Amino acid sequence: MKKKWIFMGPLFLLAFAAFVALGGIVVMQLWNWLLPPLFGFRLVNFWQGLGLLALCRILFGGLGCHNSSGSNFRRRKPKHWDSMTPEERERFRQGMQGRCSTQPAAGEGAQI
């Protein structure tokens, strides 16, 4: 098993570097093709394109800290959920089901 990683590790690093380089080239080419003729912006080189790619990833894509373990219901529940009575909670659930046409995951009521 360790021998496999000795060969696969450098291959993964090379593939990641190629993926990043391709992204920088694509951003550079798109910028140089679209923005100077349309808006009069200056041309960018590869490193500036790579910087733009990183900046857009930070600003619009986050840093990979997505919490995919929570359901939509947990993100939408009100802040005062713990102080609600069971009847109020059920009314809230029914209202959300009618609005979003989704149902909470199985077993979610027991976790709350």
* Domain definitions of the chain by residue range: 2-61
Express each pLDDT in 49-105 by its tens digit.
999 999 999 899 876 655 555 455 555 666 778 888 888 888 888 887 777 655 555
**Residue 108 confidence (pLDDT) above 90:** no
CA distance 103 to 73: 8
What is the model's pLDDT at position 94? 84
What is the model's pLDDT at position 107? 53
Q: Count other Cβ atoms within 10 Å, centred on residue 63.
A: 7
72 with 100: CB under 8 angstroms? Answer: yes
Burial of 28 (0-12, 13-18, 19+ CB in 10 A): buried
Express each pLDDT in 9-59 by its tens digit.
889 999 999 999 999 999 999 999 999 999 999 999 999 999 999 999 989
Dihedral (Cα; 42, 45, 50, 52), 10-degree rounding: 0
What is the model's pLDDT at position 50? 95
